[in-house]
Amino acid sequence: MSSNWFETWFDSPYYHLLYQNRDDKEAEFFLNNLFQKIPLPEHSCVADIPCGKGRHALYLYEKGFDVTGLDLSPESIKQASGFANERLHFYEHDMRKPYTKKKFEAIFNLFTSIGYFEDDADNLNVLKSFNSSLKKNGILVIDFFNTTKVCNELKLSDEIKRDTVTFKISKYIENNRIIKYIDVYDDGKVHHFREMVQLLNRVDFEQLLAEAGFVILNLFGNYALDSFDEQKSERLIIKAQKII
């Protein structure tokens, strides 16, 4: 088994089964609102990193952009590649390393897709790699959960059924991270997985982004792009610009 939990879990069919009910209409609502704040010209080159199975990347393509989706998971890229065409491309890639084949006007890092790493320095590595892949004055959008609200409302255990598969989930906080253990009961067998996300807050992102060569332009607190409230907001959505 890989020492990196995300390489194992994100490439598992159980990951996609557990999260199959993610709302595509919510994603479209978010991105439609976002493009009112980021007026990108048609056919701009943009990236969705990590792209998962490509649902956000596909919508970006439908908005008229030239889209590159990058993800570490071979299974996700395999599924996403079914959407590929001349303006929609998918490749396996570790976002901690610079992507050198193309420069982008904007990069989208959506649905809490940073803070996965054992080594805190890898968060900065990700942001530096994004910076190197952006054109001058390029835009970075990060969609993360609001740490304060998540901690205040943390549900310690849950059980979810998907057809004949049962997921038993337990969560706790340790070393400034939310640790989630996922036991999957399927056809008489039990499979064990783990998720781990660092509790990055607004100040953490301000420091990391400044060090990586970005300035924050806006903070939003939900997919309607209302102002961010540390206590009440569901999300911490950051629009930042490359300055170095």
Q: Whose CA is closest to 237, among 221, 226, 224?
A: 221
Distances from the Cα of 104 to the Cα of 45, 133, 205, 214, angstroms: 5, 6, 21, 15
Tally: H helices and E strands in the chain? 8, 11
Buried b or exposed e, range 32-51, using 16+ CB within 10 angstroms: ebbeeebebeeebbbbbbbb
Task: Determine whether 233 is exposed, middle or buried from the number of CB atoms within 10 Å of its CB (0-12, 13-18, 19+).
Answer: buried
**For residue 207, what is the DSSP state?**
H
Question: d(Cα 86, Cα 143) in Å, to the nearest integer?
Answer: 27
Single pTM value for the model: 0.91
For residue 22, what pLDDT is reported? 66
Structure tokens at 168: 């038993």
Q: Whose CA is closest to 117, among 6, 224, 34?
A: 6
Contact 214, 239 (CB under 8 A): no
Contact 55, 27 (CB under 8 A): yes
Contact 179, 196 (CB under 8 A): yes
All structural domains of the chain, each given as residue ranges with its CATH number in brackets, are: 5-146+201-242 (3.40.50.150), 150-195 (no CATH)
Amino acid identity, position 191: H
Q: What is the pLDDT of residues 69-94, one digit of tens each?
A: 999 989 889 999 999 999 999 999 99
The runs of H, that is alpha helices, within 45-136 are 55-62, 74-80, 121-133
Contact 210, 125 (CB under 8 A): no
For each successive 10 residues of the chain (244 residues), what is the average pLDDT? 72 83 78 90 94 91 95 91 95 95 96 90 97 97 96 93 94 94 94 94 97 97 96 97 93
* Residue whose pair of structure tokens reads 């969705």 in the numeric block: 48
